[in-house]
Copies of this chain bind each other. A is one copy, B any other.
Amino acid sequence: MSEENIIFVGKKPTMNYVLAIVTQFNNSDMPRIVIKARGKAISKAVDIAEITKHKFIQTAKYESIKLDTETLEGENGPSNVSSIEIILAK
């Protein structure tokens, strides 16, 4: 069993992701959860991490926060999009 779980943030409501993370932290031996997002979902990923940390799992800490740029192949050729990877550890 992997020692981390990855949550990709997309178009669902913020609290859906928060509750998924809280459930995984509480019901498993996962010591850390990786939250990944691209483009406009980056703001939502930060909300998700902050709400999880402040309202649900106060012992959680940021193990690392990384920013990067990914190249996506689109209909009009490649385009660059920023990404974030937040590792939350309990």
- A→B interface (CB under 8 Å): 39-43, 46-47, 49-50, 54, 62, 65-69, 82, 84, 86
Contact = CB atoms under 8 A, between A and B. Distances in A.
The 7 closest A-B pairs by CB, nearest first: A42-B43, A65-B65, A46-B82, A50-B82, A43-B43, A50-B69, A47-B82
A51 to B, nearest CB: 8
A72 to B, nearest CB: 14
A17 to B, nearest CB: 13
A86 to B, nearest CB: 7
B67 A49 contact: yes
A57 to B, nearest CB: 14
A85 to B, nearest CB: 11
